[in-house]
Structure 1
Amino acid sequence: MSCPCCAAKVGSRRAEEIQHVVERVHAEGGSAALVTLTVRHRAGQRLAPLWDGITYAWSRVTSGRRYACEIAQFGITGWVAVVESPHGEAGWHPHRHVLVLFDTPMSQDMVTALAEGWWDRWSRALGRRGLDGIEHRGGLDVRVVRPDGSGGLGEYLSKIAHEVSGSPTKRGRRGSRTPFEILADFSATGNADDYDLWVEFEQAAQRRRTLTWGKGTRERYGLRREQSAQEIAEEDAGGDDLLGLPNETWQAVRDRAEALLAVAERDGLLGAQAWLTERGLPFTRVKARDRYDRAADAARAHHQRREARRRWRTLLGTDRAD
């Protein structure tokens, strides 16, 4: 889902479902923990093979007799996992957040013991794909989700769903940028490198699932059939026209996107138009099927032009542009 507005809608729906599950787990006397697994990366590595590697590694963690024994030993009732792909000086850094659900209260030590077993299988699986896990303590993060917000997590429970659902409004950490921050930066500056990064992410994400549920988890906690991102976007759109935001409007509202979406959900398309008009921000009406942000379309076109120029320079035997 590459349209920022549609992605925000989808992320909100996913977050609501995850929050429901977390609340239900604690209401039943169980517990939850967040385990983050990472892969060693370097500048210049393509995102797609890194993403494929961590997808394969997670499939090896959650299969086989050892995982079946862990389900019984630790009382695992399900999980939901998301892949995040920030980009920084060391290149793409895809990693997997896993919200693990248990039928009884779990201590930090107990969850860490489980996660260490996962880390061993994760690292071996990455090795079979020609990748490396980051050194043990640097590549494994474990946090028990406590309903009272203790244990240093503070406000974490209230935002756990957005953490796990990979909300497009989330900000990168320690000098990295999320894909939607990269797209926003391109909209603001026109930086060609940001164009290329966004296109690479978009192409990788379209062929892969960002969020996955463990088998039987949704049913266990009373959620209906999982809808695709497109189904959620179409349901929210209701088949009506959408609003297109030109560059200057997006720059003005990108830090207040949630407020605009809240107005749109409450008052519909006309309410969103009124909100923009009151602030003197231009917009256009576009058909519901045109779901990709204009900046994303421009990014693809620009990327194709750059690739064409590179091919011509190779044929001409020069690394200089015409």
Structure 2
Amino acid sequence: MVTMTVSHKRKDALKDVWDAVSSGWGSVTSGGVWSNAETEQEFEARLQRWENSGLAHEEAKRLGQKPPRAPRGWHKRQYPEIKRGDKAKYGVIGWARAVEVTRGANGWHVHIHAVLVLEGRQQAHERAYALGRSMHVRWNKGIAKRGFTSSKEHGLRVDVSEGAERQLAEYLAKAGEPEKAVRNSVEKAGKALAREATLGQHKIAKRGGRTPFQI
């Protein structure tokens, strides 16, 4: 679960903060950086064009002619890499988003909880945190269009669910654990994230703040 917010002041209107959050999320989940996924065939064709352009550059120099511009990375032999957006790079199967609002001493606090499901368990934590950092870069670009910023300390939070397998293993290791308790522990795995993302109307704001339902 990725939580993202903006820095705000008491004088900021709810509409302005809300629009900034909307702009930020739109920046996160649009464009090639998020969804682009180049096929192997497309990559091979682009790589061939890159090499042909570089060879033409070298040939023109050899003949004493004005060479065409060399492709990016040619002189250092930095070959192009396959284009993969965040969804393909980090294995994002799908996501669900909720917007939460509270009112406190510093005004309207609007933030997003997004639960993302990643494919596979290999390096799951590393991928999740790297994905969160990548999303936060685009988040800042989006909210900047509305005149807002977010800090590294408070603008992004990433929570990773360990999954049901670990919960099940821990409880099965306990001798004599009733089957019902095992089943309940498995069902609880990930529920905290689900509650955080979907049950905003039932929450009580922290540090003296109030949710719209409390107001």
User: Would you call these one fold, judging by a TM-score over 0.5?
Assistant: yes
Partner-residue secondary structure (3-state), 1:85: strand
Q: 2:193 aligns with which of 160, 184, 201?
A: 160
State the shift of 1:156 in Å.
6.7
- Equivalent position of 1:44 in the other structure: 11
2:116 equivalent to 1:83:
no
Q: CA RMSD in A?
A: 1.9
Distance 2:9 2:125 in 1: 31
- Pick the aligned partner of 2:87 from 71, 77, 80: 71
Letter in 2 for 1:172: A
The yes-or-no answer on 1:131 pairing with 2:164 is no
Query: In 2, Cα distance between the equivalents of 1:73 and 1:54?
Result: 25
Of the structure 1 ranges 163-172 and 51-60, higher mean CA displacement relative to structure 2 is found in 163-172
Give the Cα separation in 2 of the matches to 1:127 and 1:114: 20
- 2:120 equivalent in structure 1: 104
Counterpart contact for 1:84–1:166, Cα < 8 Å: no
Q: Which runs of 5+ in 2 are unaligned?
A: 36-84, 168-184
One-letter amino acid matched to 2:214:
E
| CA contact 1:70–1:76 (8 Å) conserved in 2 | yes
Aligned to 2:137: 120
Give the CA deviation at 1:67. Answer: 0.7
**Counting helix residues as a fraction of each chain, which structure ranks higher?**
1
Please state how far the C-alpha of 1:42 moved relative to its aligned partner: 0.8
Distance in 2, Cα, partners of 1:156 & 1:140: 23
- Structure 1 segments unaligned to the other structure (5+ residues): 1-33, 183-322
Deviation digits for residues 121-168 of structure 1 (CA, Å, limit 9, x no counterpart) = 1111111111112x1122110011123477xxx967233322111431
**CA distance in 1 between partners of 2:207 and 2:120 (Å):** 35
CA distance in 2, matches of 1:90, 1:44: 8
Map 1:1-322 onto structure 2 (within 5 A). 34-68=1-35, 69-105=85-121, 106-133=123-150, 135-148=151-164, 157-182=190-215
Comparing both chains, which one has the higher relative contact order based on Cα–Cα distances under 8 Å and sequence gaps of 6 or more? 2
Amino acid at match of 1:131: F
SS at 2:120 equivalent: coil
**Aligned letter for 2:131?**
L
Displacement after TM superposition at 1:82 (Å): 0.7
Q: 1:156 to 1:88 in 2, by over 3 A?
A: farther
* Counterpart amino acid of residue 168 in structure 1: Q
Q: Please report the TM-score for the alignment, with normalisation by the length of structure 1.
A: 0.42
Distance 1:75 1:54 in 2: 25
The count of residues paired between Structure 1 and Structure 2 equals 145
Q: How far apart in 1 are the matches of 2:202 and 2:91?
A: 33
